[in-house]
Structure 1
Amino acid sequence: MSIKQVTVFGGSGFVGRAIVRALAQEGYQVRVACRRIELAERIKTAGDVGQITVMRTNLRNAASVKAAIAGSQAVVNASGIPFQRGRQSYQTVHVEGSRAIAEAAKAAGVKRLIHMSGMGGDQRNSTNKYIRSKVDAEDAIVAGFTDATILRPSVVFGPEDAMFNRMAQIAAKAPFVPVVGDGSARVQPVYVGDIGSAVVAVLARPETAKTVFELGGPRVYTYREIAALVLREIDREKRIVGVPAGLMRLAGFFAEFLPVPPLTHDQVDLLITDNIARPGAPGLAALGIEPTAAEAILPTYLDRYRVGGRYNQHAPA
């Protein structure tokens, strides 16, 4: 059975949209399953008329998940939340949602299931609620669909990313750029377009079933180096100041009362923990993809944070 139609759960999100675009460019019919379809309408322009459709889907409703998968030969689970709010908890979305998708995909006779996890998805001893939910989600996927492929990206960058844009916003307004602790934790940023390419490559290679790929970019940075890179890109000179993790956790705790918290105490823990691929783990290279360097992409969207704005003729080329 050849794969013609793919259902992408969470296709309205930052990573999900890149996956949808990559699939559409390869000629797949794509069904975007998401809770808020108004956020997914714009992605339909990434394909021909009728090639990309949107379906309102609630992961808490088994019938809704089943309907989203019906007729598809492959499923991609890119659903996820950066923080918990009300019924949208890590347990509900990451774990129970993954279980519902895996079981529905198996029952529907789906040929391939790709699950978007994250580096750290193997840290079974982690006390971080976010990481624990990623571990449990992978277990739920494999329990329900043993042939699933799992992709674990590091921090993802691209025009609408959280990390680089947020740091640039801070650097443009604040008198200094804060990093958590001493900023020595390491990260391996991966380009969002490379993640889309990875999904396409996995679907084209049946031998990638039952495999975990750790997706990282071509270079490992410390968070202090990331801050310095951002300052260079936006042509600003600011001090990089380490802020004690305990103080940042406290700030994250109170920030969680905001409608959209800029930081949570769980995220602080992630910022003092290495987020890099394990030595020898298969990654983008194993899928025939050359990782894209952050330095090649950042100028295309961080330039708006430069002094004088995007069209400042004195900004660095």
Structure 2
Amino acid sequence: MTSQRGERDYDVCLSFAGEQRDYVERVAASLKKAGIRVFYDDYEKVALWGKDLYEHLDYIYGKSAEYCILFASEEYSKKVWTNHERRSAQARALMGHAEYVLPVRFDDTEIPGLRTTVGYLNAQSIEPASLAQMIAEKLGPRMRKNFFPPNPDLLFEALSITDEQDCEDALSVARAFMGVLQRMTPEERELVACLFCSYCPSELPGNVHQSMDLIHRLMGWPPQQIIDTLRGIRSLGFAHEVRHEDESHGDSVLVCQWNDMSVDSGLTDFAMINSTWLAATMIELAVGHYCEDCATKFIEALDFSRLSSATMETREQA
């Protein structure tokens, strides 16, 4: 179990009676679209399959989320499983000495352990999408970890692609690059981020390149360490070379390209040809206009919120 903010399995978990499912489902869909990690049972059918639900739901509602949204109703007060979820959530709130259970009421039914003095929202007067927005505001700006948005529309826009098949294949390559970054050491990731953020675009989509001296100055690494690090990630699809532009002055240029090693023959020419450009665009969008230190934090966390218009506004300001 993790307890640090931003390191939990979910941002919110939803506890509700089946009679209110239509409303709650729309709340869950809006939260998911906004990139908020939500525990909603219908999204977890495979994960729940075969588990001891009594034990697992105790973990979900007691430890796994930043907040528990409790949808109070007459039906909620009478069901065995909702009361189990409630008790787990209330135990967490008691031990944490902080607000955790956020009530949303469908009626005035008294819920055991839920004081009438606790602030709540009225589901009868709030549309599901509006409630989802309020939950997002409650969560506040945050940095996500290992986050890739379900619809990276801003990535597609930056790549100037609209064709449905091209978008689908670009998404496949983008996810593959995310997987590559996850398998890197922090030092490897730092070098790739530096090179793919400060590159010269004149030879895209073939490669990104930059003065070796500039990379050295930006990272504080000696040239040989830069080369050795790139050699170490050849198995992840990275190829590089050093061009000596002016032998008399010792100027050299580091050239790098990334190829998706998982690409199959069914992908379109766009995805096959433009993997380096796509990777560079992903990193460039992820760091935005942040300073070097803040950009490094987002790359370390692998927070690609800025690839989607639905999630970029909820990034944590470092």
TM-score, normalised via structure 2 length: 0.27
Q: Which has the higher contact order (CA 8 A, sep 6+)?
A: 2
TM-score, normalised via structure 1 length: 0.27
Which has the larger share of helix? 2
Higher radius of gyration, 1 or 2: 2
